[in-house]
Structure 1
């Protein structure tokens, strides 16, 4: 009986460990409403967010290696990879399975992307991965919805 209790305890322990949320650091401007909405999207999808209010987002992006052509309003960091702009939570998980990527980005601020949901309109957009050699590749594509 004692062995069963020990095994049950290990099983429950491993379940709680597996359920621990992924932590992402998010750097944003204090006055940005869509950044807060993107943070809510991440939290709703099981991420633990550490919120950093910044005064110089350009310096943050430069330090993290985000190219200006992939830039958006906020920048996240998870396990050393950057997450630029309104990247859906599911695509952050995809990116994490690709350790050759420096990060992933949704350039600009496309309507309908997480944090930019206004009505039923969604602009077409891509989630772009940037590898360590500077090459870009599409991780996901989202079509226009009107």
Structure 2
């Protein structure tokens, strides 16, 4: 009989904890990104794995014409890279770290962020401890570019 009451107490406590945390669980943002990429690119797959490791649900779109995708999404040629993500209607071009993706979603003045080229050491482009210096560039609604993050070489 005593064992049953212990089980009941554990159930009641567990229920209280779940109910107490339910509002917190419901308030958590849904992390989802569409990624458009060439099916033959290995670093794109590595960037997708990086996003998934950081809690993103990735919808993977294999594309035959990435130039067309970038043009449709408004990615300027000078900010181009190998793959293009879309979060809340905003573009994420190239090997952008999750910190700048989060910043993009918070900022109403930006229409996208980019890691131009394929910087060594950026997410999906890791090579040991080496990292080239690179910047994450934000594109504003007015078309101005601004540095939103600066990663030094190491």
User: Do both proteins adopt the same fold according to a TM-score greater than 0.5, normalized to the shorter chain?
Assistant: yes
> 1:38-89 deviations in whole A, cap 9, x for unaligned?
0011111111111101100000000000000000000000001100000001
From 23, 29, 36, give the equivalent of 2:38.
29
Report what 1:47 is aligned to: 56
Report what 1:93 is aligned to: 102
The question of 1:56 aligning with 2:65 is answered: yes
From 61, 74, 99, give the equivalent of 2:83.
74
Counterpart CA distance in 2 for 1:31 and 1:71 is 17
Report what 1:111 is aligned to: 120
Give TM-score scaled by structure 1 length.
0.90
Backbone CA RMSD of aligned residues: 1.9
From 20, 24, 33, give the equivalent of 1:15.
24
Report what 2:147 is aligned to: 138
Contact in 2 for aligned 1:21/1:46 (Cα 8 Å): no
SS in 1 for 2:128: coil
Give TM-score scaled by structure 2 length.
0.86
Report what 2:8 is aligned to: none
> 1:87-143 deviations in whole A, cap 9, x for unaligned?
001110011111111100000001000000012110000000000110000110000
